[in-house]
Chains A and B, each alone.
Chain A
Amino acid sequence: MKVIEGLKSGLGYTWAALCIVIVLATFVGFGFWERTLAEGTGIHVSPRFSGGEVRQVTEHNTYQTRLHRLVFDGLVSERAAGFVQIDWVPREKQSLPATVEEEFDIDGDGSIEIRVRVDMVAGKAELLRRAPWVLGADPLITADSERILRIQLRNPRK
């Protein structure tokens, strides 16, 4: 019994002493642990927040138009509703034009599904729908010098 008690005590104190090592290692190796966690698990920010990967970039004189992929991501399968995000990004030391009017093939099937007219000064966007599963546009978002538009969609596969 005494041997087992001694062993338990020894293990308990070792475990307790390791806690100091854990705290030191947390801070000393902070950058390493942070990168290891991110790379090892492959976690990324949900596309519902980030907008998803950029699928197509169109270059213009003073700005870029970035079309993101369709986001219908759910917990285990696609959801019935989603969105697509479009960013207008000025080139370095340039600004966005007062108005922009563009057409997009948002699902990559070769046909145009939406036409968007954006008034950058007033911060308003008009949407012309050419597909029944395009529901409508959210208010135009300003982030730094960019303008971002999310268009709500119904999942055509659902």
Chain B
Amino acid sequence: MTAGCRSTGATPELTKSPGKAVLWSLPMLALSLFMFFGQGGIPRDPLRAIPLFCTLILVNVLFYLMIRTGKTDRYRAVFFITMAVLFVISFLAHFQEERGSMALTAGELIKGRTPFCHMVIPATIIPAALSRTIIFPGSILGPYSIASMIVLWLGASLAMGRGFCSWGCFFGGLEDGFSRVRRKPWIRKIAERWTYLPYAVLVVVVVMSAVLLSPFYCEWLCPFKTVTEYFEVNSFQTMLQAFIFVGLFLGLVVVLPILSRRRTQCGLFCPMGAFQSFFNKVNPFEIVIARNQCKDCDKCIRECPTFSLDARSVSLGRTRISCVKCGKCVDECPTGAIAYHVKGTRSQWKPARARMLFIYPAYLFLTVFGGGMIQDGLYRILLLATTGSMVR
């Protein structure tokens, strides 16, 4: 079947009845109960138990609404943004507790206590392949370790492809949040050539990291160092690094998303996102556009947060490779021409089934991965409210 005659049907009909929506939400409730209580049971400390129950309720209410209304991005974004904000709170409190500071000292680096995040993964591949070493000052096993992050990232990538960027990345929610501050964008048009920049950044980061044998992106380009941990400023170099981190954060994660209503760090800069795009090719899910229902209003092109739709891709009935499967275009399309699709299946057949097959693994990943961050973030806020400090 050619893309030009694809037809997806309108918004999913499956869950118009509340009863059916409850039934479809029950497996997620069971899975989240299993994941949250399976290992440790109910904590005795009320400051731990309250966040656990709040997270459980939040997760399942949002999922029910997602099923009931047929809107994906609306409720995903609530979870995603909450996760990002509480991740920052949890992370900073954790390191304040462990080290007494957000600053990363030379001692911490040598001791391998730097948390490994997914952004480093592309930079580590060549050295790991050639010398079996990871060019990162972390630890191989244990909490925040290299192996743990790679396992999580691999699982997410196989299940969602670049969907990881909107259903798993604990940084993405920050700019997702800022991109929703204004109702209308000030910057309406960003030239298409800028959307290739992440691939150029990816090449530079991979090559420079292999040459220098150090994580070039973390050391020089990561905007999120501003809200996680930064190198102790004790030289001109570390001062310059801090300046770059803060500049990139303010520009790409705060100001540009507010002005353009787009995720500009993800869409115009992130090398991990560019790398992750290739995983859309080894993933069964995609977004398709029914040409026979499309009115060419271009709303999806304007709304796509990661510049993954343009006139050409819409005319071909599909997104660009950079699609993060957030579902915003699906939610926004006035004619219901855009839908989730399982590769290999007929496009006009059961769009609700395809959506359900995608959101179950995606939301489950978000629940388990993000649920812990939300719980700890809430715990830190409760700790602050009751003891005056986020640190135990």
Q: A-side interface residues toward B, CB under 8 Å?
A: 5, 8-9, 11-13, 15-17, 19-20, 22-27, 30, 33-35, 37-38, 41-51, 73-76, 85, 139, 141-144, 146, 148
Contacts and interface: CB of A to CB of B under 8 A. Distances in A.
A73 B283 CA distance: 37
Contact of A22 (B105, B110, B131, B159): B159
A20 B133 contact: no
Interface string B260-276: 00000000000000000
A144 B154 CA distance: 34
Contacts of A25: 155
Residue among A17, A22, A46, A146 with most chain B CB within 10 A:
A46
5 contacts: A12-B343, A26-B159, A34-B145, A141-B105, A143-B108
B170 interface: no
B392 interface: no
Nearest to B366: A23
Contacts of B284: 12, 15-16, 19
B136 interface: yes
A16 B343 CA distance: 9
B5 interface: no
A148 B112 CA distance: 13
Given A11-B344, A16-B357, A141-B110, A43 B133 contact: yes
Nearest to B154: A26
Residue among A33, A45, A76, A143 with most chain B CB within 10 A:
A45
Given A34-B141, A75-B130, A20 B110 contact: no
B141 A38 contact: yes
Contacts of B146: 43, 45
A45 B139 contact: yes
Contact of A45 (B106, B134, B151): B134
A125 to B, nearest CB: 13
Top 7 A-B pairs, shortest CB-CB distance: A26-B155, A12-B344, A143-B107, A49-B137, A46-B133, A19-B159, A8-B344
Contact of A43 (B134, B154, B349): B134
A148 B106 CA distance: 10
B250 interface: no
B58 to A, nearest CB: 19
Nearest to A138: B106
A20 B364 CA distance: 8
Interface string B143-155: 0011110111011
B103 interface: no
Give the dominant DSSP class at A's interface. Answer: helix
A48 B361 contact: no
A17 B357 contact: yes
Contacts of A45: 112, 133-134, 136-140, 146
Contacts of A38: 140-141, 147
B342 interface: yes
A51 B110 contact: yes
B281 to A, nearest CB: 13
Interface string B338-353: 0000111110010000
Contacts of B108: 143
Contact of A13 (B135, B283, B345): B345
B285 A16 contact: yes
A5 B130 CA distance: 43
Given A23-B155, A43-B146, A45-B133, A74 B364 contact: no
A30 B147 CA distance: 10
A23 B159 contact: yes
A86 B83 CA distance: 42
A9 B347 CA distance: 10
A41 to B, nearest CB: 7
A51 to B, nearest CB: 6
Contacts of A11: 344
A139 B156 CA distance: 42
A141 B107 contact: yes
Given A12-B284, A23-B361, A148 B110 contact: yes
A27 B285 CA distance: 21
Nearest to A146: B107
A142 B107 contact: yes
Contacts of B132: 41-44
A70 B225 CA distance: 32
A9 B345 contact: yes
B246 interface: no
Contacts of B111: 143-144
B137 A75 contact: no
B365 interface: yes
A51 B111 CA distance: 9
Nearest to B138: A45
B135 A49 contact: yes
B345 A141 contact: no
Contacts of B138: 45
A153 to B, nearest CB: 16
B368 A27 contact: yes
Given A20-B364, A143-B107, A43 B344 contact: no
